[in-house]
Amino acid sequence: MSETYKPGAVDLTGEDIHWDQDVSYGQYLGLDKLLDCQTLRSDQHDEMMFIIIHQASELWMKLSIHELTGAMEQIRRDELGPAFKMISRIARIQEQLIQSWNILATMTPSDYLKFRDSLGQSSGFQSYQYRIIEFSLGNKNPGMVEVHKAHPEIYRQVRAALDTPSIYDLTLKLLYDRGFNVPTDKLSRDWSEPYVASAEVEQVWQQVYAMADKYWDLYELAEKLVDLEHRFQSWRFSHLKTVERVIGYRRGTGGTGGVSYLSKALELQFFPELWSVRTSL
């Protein structure tokens, strides 16, 4: 080897380091507040990891909502290029959310049971950001907003996501505006109710897929939505298996059946015709 190993600190000679900053890294990121949010309710080692995993997930969900809101506005304007970038970014965020379950799965049942009572009745079921994402993707359920009634501003945000068109509703409106025969009952309805699959809508997607070269941007939008749902379901599955691994079939702290409740969610679809069209092509 021609180079000589030199132990010690990096040589800063010639570097123009800003030792005094008008805005420091910590100030810009608000680290004094962010790193002071991990309040343990027990003396158990694994509680720190449990809290940080869930807090980090909420930050990723905040970014997902930001990107999803932007993508929906671009679809509304029929400006699909920027929407594609935003949806692709959400897919990368979902990878981080899925990976978080792998970290949480390092906690054994006995580790968790040592501090589980400290959670009281708090539960991920109560995550209002998760509910906003779910409603924005189209999994509407009016009953799910009731858990947030005690918090007026949060309730308002969740209710707004429930009562406005989902990303799939906006996509169907775009198809209609482009001249496709989308049934009118899919364009004006009670947005707080779950979307019901339609044979006519499946036929519209058949046209898009059969002539992908002609309708390339709509075809790409469809595939990005499929990818979005695929990753969301992968997150749900990882959640289910992690819960099963750590607490088995105990009831959740928020009152749900735990694994039995999570398994029901795996049966739901956001964009049904984008899945059924694969069989009918």
Q: Where are the domains of the chain?
A: 45-114+124-247+257-279
Q: What is the pLDDT of residue 11?
A: 81
Instruction: Write out pLDDT tens, residues 56-90.
Output: 999 999 999 999 999 999 999 999 999 999 999 99
Binding-site residues from annotation for substrate = 50-54, 112, 116, 253
Q: Count Cβ atoms within 10 A of the Cβ of residue 11 and give its class: 0-12 exposed, 13-18 middle, 19 or more buried.
A: exposed
Cβ neighbours of residue 29 under 8 Å, at least 6 residues apart? Answer: none
| Whether pLDDT at 2 is above 60 | no
Write the pLDDT tens digit of every residue in 117-164. 898 888 887 899 999 999 999 999 999 999 899 999 999 999 999 999
Mean per-residue pLDDT, 17-24: 80
pLDDT for position 243: 85
How confident is the model over 21-48, as pLDDT tens digits? 788 889 999 999 999 999 999 999 999 9
Counting residues of the chain whose pLDDT is more than 90, the rounded percentage is 74
Long-range CB contacts (within 8 A, 24+) of 159-162: 161/131, 161/132, 161/135, 161/136, 162/135, 162/191, 162/192
Residue list for the binding site: 50-54, 112, 116, 239, 253
Mean pLDDT over each residue of the chain, to the nearest integer:
91
**What integer is the mean pLDDT of 247-272?**
76
pLDDT mean over 212-241: 94
Sequence-separated (6 or more) residues with CB below 8 Å from residue 168: 137, 138, 195, 225, 270, 271
pLDDT at 1: 47
Residues forming the annotated binding site for heme? 239
Is 1.20.58.480 the CATH classification of the domain at 45-114+124-247+257-279? yes
Assign 5 a pLDDT band (cuts: 50, 70, 90). Answer: low
Closest listed residue to residue 273, CA positions, set 213, 210, 225, 214: 225
pLDDT, tens digit (0-9, with 9 covering 90-100), for 85-125: 999 999 999 999 999 999 999 999 999 999 998 988 888 87
Provide, rounded to the nearest whole percent, the portion of the chain with pLDDT above 70. Answer: 94
pLDDT for position 249: 73
